[in-house]
């Protein structure tokens, strides 16, 4: 059983098409729809709610899926087969094709995550190999449950965008891999996460990226949490880091000297 977690908001025709594509999958799935129409919790909280529902159930993987992503009939089977063959892959992503031209790939993996995400794209014929990628786009991600148990839920500080790249970076920092799966494909109609003329949506996106910058690029978030007191100035931290590097070098030298001494005694 493969749970598929779908945040749903407003566009019923998109959801209907998305569900129809899931019902045509060669590998059966269980669909979880988080209806955001009455209390819009947006993407991250909706996916986390679905993860929480299935985290302790009998499944190896979960799929986070946008309602505007329409998977081809073999997509789930291809993703699951790939994950089975690659036990260190924590997050996998299918190719996202253009609806009007399925020979063109809109996203085959994330490039720059900041400020608003850039993706590898080009003719479908250009993508013939499964490859590790920097981050997976949240329109469709297959998640290994073992990885979720280790790294936790998506960071709820990201409300609307950024949680996909953040989750991928967190997974990679813990030794998990993120891959594109070229035999798994689907058509992606870009919704509000792309260009939007709604000022409330744009405000959410800007706030998400400000948090992303503080967390991953400037270090302000972790600095605030970890560096308390008057001694935590940039200059003091740089000095301590230099001292630790010297200590490491001395420790490496001592370990190597000990090994040479043991080797000499054995000989």
pLDDT in tens, 26-39: 999 999 999 999 99
Mean pLDDT of 36-62: 97
pLDDT in tens, 71-122: 999 999 999 999 999 999 999 999 999 998 999 999 999 999 999 999 999 9
| Average pLDDT of the chain, as a whole number | 93
Q: What confidence category does residue 258 fall into, taking pLDDT thresholds of 50, 70 and 90?
A: confident
Q: CA 249, CA 118: separation in Å to the nearest integer?
A: 39
Mean pLDDT of 129-155: 98
Phi, psi of 233 (to 5 degrees): -80, 160
Mean pLDDT of 10-39: 97
CATH architecture classification, 2-220: Alpha-Beta Complex (3.90)
pLDDT value for 204: 94
| Percentage of the chain modeled with pLDDT above 70 | 95
Instruction: Evaluate if residue 64 carries a pLDDT over 60.
Output: yes
**95 closest CA partner among 61, 130, 68, 60:** 130
Domain layout of the chain by residue ranges: 2-220, 229-267
Instruction: Evaluate if residue 194 carries a pLDDT over 60.
Output: no
Q: CA 95, CA 52: separation in Å to the nearest integer?
A: 27
């Amino acid at each position: 059983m493969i749970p598929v977690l779908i945040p749903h908001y407003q566009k019923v025709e998109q959801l209907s098409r998305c569900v129809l594509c899931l019902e045509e999958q060669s590998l059966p799935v269980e669909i979880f729809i988080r209806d955001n129409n009455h209390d819009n919790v947006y993407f991250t909280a909706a996916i986390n709610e679905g993860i929480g529902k299935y985290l302790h159930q009998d499944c190896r993987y979960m799929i986070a899926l946008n309602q505007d992503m329409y998977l081809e009939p073999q997509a789930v089977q291809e993703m699951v087969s790939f994950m089975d063959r690659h036990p260190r892959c924590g997050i996998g992503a299918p190719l996202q094709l253009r609806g009007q031209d399925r020979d063109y790939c809109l996203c085959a993996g994330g490039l720059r995550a900041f400020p608003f995400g850039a993706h590898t794209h080009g003719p479908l014929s250009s993508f013939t190999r499964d490859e590790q990628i920097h981050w997976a786009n949240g329109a469709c991600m297959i998640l290994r449950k073992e990885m979720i148990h280790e790294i936790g839920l998506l960071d709820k500080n990201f409300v609307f965008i950024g949680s996909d790249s953040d989750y991928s970076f967190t997974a990679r920092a813990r030794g998990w891999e993120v891959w594109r799966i070229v035999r798994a494909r689907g058509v992606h109609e870009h919704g509000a996460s792309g260009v939007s003329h709604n000022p409330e949506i744009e405000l959410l996106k800007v706030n998400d990226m400000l948090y992303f910058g503080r967390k991953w690029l400037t270090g302000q978030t972790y600095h605030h949490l970890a560096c308390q007191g008057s001694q935590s100035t940039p200059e003091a931290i740089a000095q301590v880091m230099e001292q630790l590097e010297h200590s490491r070098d001395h420790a490496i030298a001592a370990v190597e000297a000990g090994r040479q001494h043991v080797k000499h005694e054995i000989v």
